[in-house]
Chains A and B, each alone.
Chain A
Amino acid sequence: MESLIPVGLTDLQGVYPALNLAVAGIVILLLDAFFPMRSKLLSAWITLIALHLSFTCGLHRLTSGMDETFFHGAVRMDPFTHAFTVIICLASTLAVLSAPKYLRLRDCHYAEYYALILFSVSGMLLFSAAEELIMLFLALETMSIPVYCLVAFTRDNEYSTEASMKYFVMGAFATGFMVYGVALLYGSAGSGYFADLPRGAASSPGLFYSGMTLVLIGFLFKIAAVPFNMWTPDAYEGAPTPVTTFMAEAVKAAPFSGMIKLLIVAFGFSQAVHLWMPAFIGIAILTMVVGNMVALVQTDMKRMLGYSSIAHSGYILVGIVASVKLNSSEALASVLYYLFIYVLMNAGAFGILILFSHKNKDTNAIDDLVGLGRERPWAAAFMGIYTLSLTGIPPLGGFFGKFYIFSYAIKAGLTPLVIVAILTSVMSAFYYLKIIVAMYFREPSDPQHPAAFSYEGYSVFLIAMLCFTAFGVIYFGIFPKTPLTLARLAAASLIPAP
């Protein structure tokens, strides 16, 4: 009879960034239950402090190069994980900063919002640390289930409810695929550890490869790659805008972390790569083409950004394929850098929408922004920076992110893929520029009564978020050295230098 599995203090210290967030979430719930306060700003502050602690812990561990395993090898805290800790905590901080005023406008500023965000983020951090299939699955569920609730957070809003329903059905469907795939992988290898999985390919290839396919389909649902993208635009449009911000950044970045780790550690041997690589190239092409094409005809900003986020998944897939093909940590570093910049610019774009949201109505349609450049030059300038960066205009961050990924893809001999990527990003300029044209060059349809832009969504938190993202998009575009060095450090832990 084996003794109980010992869980020591070192294990708990090892997962400190995730644990800290979960504890903070529970504290928020208990505080709100026993000492209810009208203003929920205390909860917001606790959330921000907890995220900040995890962020600094991740950054500190990243620079000190900590690489250890905990919980009997189920969790590996390596620089790659720390890098994602940093990116995800940053993304969630931006999303939390955008929330308080918007929720108050909608009369649903509850403490549960922050607790749900914290639980979800703690799942994400474990997701990027998982080295074992049970851990991967549990972290995925911890990450997803709170987001289903968050999408439905404006309770009496029918759009929000419908979006939540659609997101739940698709999310749970993807989970079903993934669990079934995990079962087959476990059956083939006889163990859940990523490092043991390649053994299964040799002993029972049928089980292994069908399991691999199902797990990867589950992941492709989560990152919204075409043809598994149908939930994205609806969920983005219907969700409250701060939740959309959260979904478009943190919930987007986290599945990539788990997928990259699984692809390199468990499916990184040459027979498996020969199977999934061509499929991924095809899916990347489809994702970029469909995402950008459909975004062209959208009139709703949130929906358009949803399609644009699908397209960005395509660019990131290009980067992943290139880095596996080259087996180079430099190429993987460019993917991390891209995710970092993507988080900043996307958060900013949603932030502007929140700034102008009204009591009962969002400012979402592109037509709503007509005349913004004249009425509110600062807000228009910020929006201009984000959209230009999303398009990929130098010297902004978005340009360098794409540039690094595409140059490594060319080095990997994926020239046709890069041609498609560049053509589609030229196409993306049309719909991003549509926003700029609306803000600066279009005359209002009724010149006697131009649209009034009032900062109804204004709050100090939101302004801080907008300033930081705009500054980050410019600064880290011109001086990409610091994030790139950190990203290289992180990528080297997953792909050792030859």
Chain B
Amino acid sequence: MITLQEYLTVAALLFSLGLLIVLFRNNAISILMGIELMLNAANINFVAFSQSLGGLAGQVFALFVIVAAAAEAAVAIAIIVLMYQNLGTTDVEKAKNLNG
């Protein structure tokens, strides 16, 4: 039997992993994957809580998060393609036209 604590630990690890990827990787696609990891960590939490608390709210929530993540990924990939066309790179560190 896997306890709630263990689910939460895995989710926290995944979340930190996603966070580190977003902070330290430069490739736009890697960053997108990091963000997906963060969202899915939250999903594990939702489902685990839903299991331990009873009720379906958590599972419904996870479904909505999946939908939103898909929409976000679609837009993100469009932006990455655009970036490759216009700047010739998918490296966010090399995109430095705006001095920020």
Chain A contacts to B: CB under 8 angstroms: 133-134, 137-138, 141, 145, 148-149, 152, 155-159, 161-166, 168-169, 172-173, 175-177, 179-180, 182-184, 186-187, 190-192, 230, 233-234, 237-238
Contact = CB atoms under 8 A, between A and B. Distances in A.
Contacts of B87: 158, 161-162
B13 interface: no
B60 interface: yes
At the interface, is chain A mostly helix, strand, loop or mixed? Answer: helix
Contacts of A163: 98
Contacts of A133: 61
A162 B95 contact: yes
A22 B71 CA distance: 17
22 contacts: A134-B57, A134-B64, A137-B61, A159-B97, A162-B83, A162-B87, A168-B76, A169-B28, A175-B35, A176-B19, A176-B38, A176-B39, A179-B38, A180-B45, A183-B43, A183-B46, A186-B46, A187-B53, A190-B55, A191-B57, A192-B61, A234-B98
B92 A169 contact: yes
Q: Considering residues B31, B41, B42, B97, which has the most beta carbons from chain A within 10 angstroms of its beta carbon?
A: B42
Interface in B50-78: 53, 55, 57-58, 60-61, 64-65, 68, 71-72, 75-76, 78
A149 B74 CA distance: 11
At the interface, is chain B mostly helix, strand, loop or mixed? Answer: helix
A137 B64 contact: yes
Given A148-B75, A168-B79, 10 more contacts: A141-B72, A155-B82, A162-B83, A163-B98, A168-B75, A169-B22, A169-B92, A183-B42, A183-B49, A233-B98
Given A137-B68, A159-B97, A148 B79 contact: yes
Contact of A238 (B53, B55, B61, B98): B98
A184 B12 CA distance: 11
List the 10 closest pairs (A to B, CB-CB), nearest first. A176-B38, A183-B45, A187-B49, A234-B100, A179-B42, A141-B68, A158-B86, A234-B98, A183-B42, A180-B42
Interface of B: 11, 15, 18-19, 22, 28, 31-32, 35, 38-39, 41-43, 45-46, 48-49, 53, 55, 57-58, 60-61, 64-65, 68, 71-72, 75-76, 78-80, 82-83, 86-87, 92, 95, 97-98, 100
A166 B100 contact: yes
B71 A145 contact: yes
A148 B82 CA distance: 12
A190 B53 contact: yes
Contacts of B18: 176
Contacts of B75: 145, 148-149, 168
Nearest to B31: A169
B89 to A, nearest CB: 11
Contacts of A175: 35, 39, 68, 72
Contact of B97 (A162, A183, A190): A162
A217 B76 CA distance: 22
B68 to A, nearest CB: 4
B86 A179 contact: no
Contacts of B83: 161-162, 165
Contacts of B97: 158-159, 162, 238
Contacts of B71: 141, 145
A348 to B, nearest CB: 24
Contacts of B38: 173, 176-177, 179-180
Contacts of A161: 79, 82-83, 86-87
A96 B58 CA distance: 38
B6 to A, nearest CB: 14
A259 to B, nearest CB: 19
Contacts of A237: 98, 100
Contacts of B39: 175-176, 179
Contacts of A191: 57
A138 B86 CA distance: 31
A189 to B, nearest CB: 9
Given A134-B61, A165-B80, A166-B100, A180 B41 contact: yes
A182 B100 CA distance: 31
B30 to A, nearest CB: 11
A496 B9 CA distance: 41
B82 A164 contact: yes
A173 B35 contact: yes
Contacts of A157: 86
A190 B50 CA distance: 8
